[in-house]
Structure 1
Amino acid sequence: MKLAAFLCLAALSAANAAAEGYGFLCCNMRTDGNWISDINYADSGKTMIPAGTPLSMDGYGKHRVLLTINGRRQAIGNDYSRNMSLDAFAKRYIVEQDPLIKLKSYPKKIQEAIGSARLIRGMNREQVLMAVGYPVYDENPLIESKTWHYWLSSFEGFDAIFDENGVLTAIEARPEVRRKVVAE
């Protein structure tokens, strides 16, 4: 997705959403139309909902947070983070402040990487989260960890490696996965 389209799509109704007390999606997430899994697989047939998209939280279901995004019902499934309370889980993905405000302050190369759900060395933890979402809690319980493990599919994973300052220094993955997640 082009950066301008990404920013336009996510910001389209942000002013109205903020005025009405709604929240925003923390990070790029993929949906099959009504289900967003916390593992955020990049399977075919899924579409990306950009970070900063306005939403309303409609409540909770069993292992899910119920939302309305762009007039459509969605659920974020707590599929792989069940050791986290559902309230804490919801607070990861639904944020009060529009992430696009911070996104616009980042260097253009980082903005473009986030807009395409890809990573580049030099990103900080917050930028990695905006780009590819949270690593699943059950595999990554400490957000301060040096390594975050992610899954693109059941068989394709990658690791984001951070230095002591929280700067992304490496993305470890097989070559075919690197092509999908690295913007360099």
Structure 2
Amino acid sequence: MGEHDTRALLVRWRAGDMGARDALFAAFYPDLRRSAAAMLRGERGCSLSTSDLVQESVARLVALNRIDWADAQHFKALSATMMRRALLDHLRSRRTNKRKHEKVELLTGIALDDPDCEIERLSAALDDLARIDPERADIVEMRYFGGLEIRDIAAVLGCSEATVKRRWTSARLWLLAEMSDA
């Protein structure tokens, strides 16, 4: 689907055309599945399937309803945000559910190899980064959680690919340092 077609569908959806919304999601479904699969790849024991994560993020996007979409990259970037939030909500819910039904053991520390804990630590570190440097946090969210390419992120942010690469590298280093201190 061309950029012009995508923009037209986004504008029509914003105006209330549900057929345009459905056509847009059908066109981007393979991209959304790839992003969801990449996001779930590192999650051991996650009961959420790729399709479930896509459907949850689509439901969240639909609930936003009247976003002033700029282009396909903006749509993909916001999709990545919704996927990340859906995954975190699922992991938190699962953790809460575990606490309700399992025997409680007293532990002296956090198990760092717990995948739920890792994604929550990453999310907390990303929230800290967003308070310091929102643009770098957006880059991490789009690249890591959304699977967007550097060129797509550059288009969303309106800067050069070289700038995005530098900020991506510095954001990763900051997150690594932040998470190793925790």
TMscore range, shorter length: 0.3 to 0.5
Q: Which has the higher helix share?
A: 2
When normalised by structure 1's length, the TM-score is: 0.35
Q: Which has the higher strand share?
A: 1
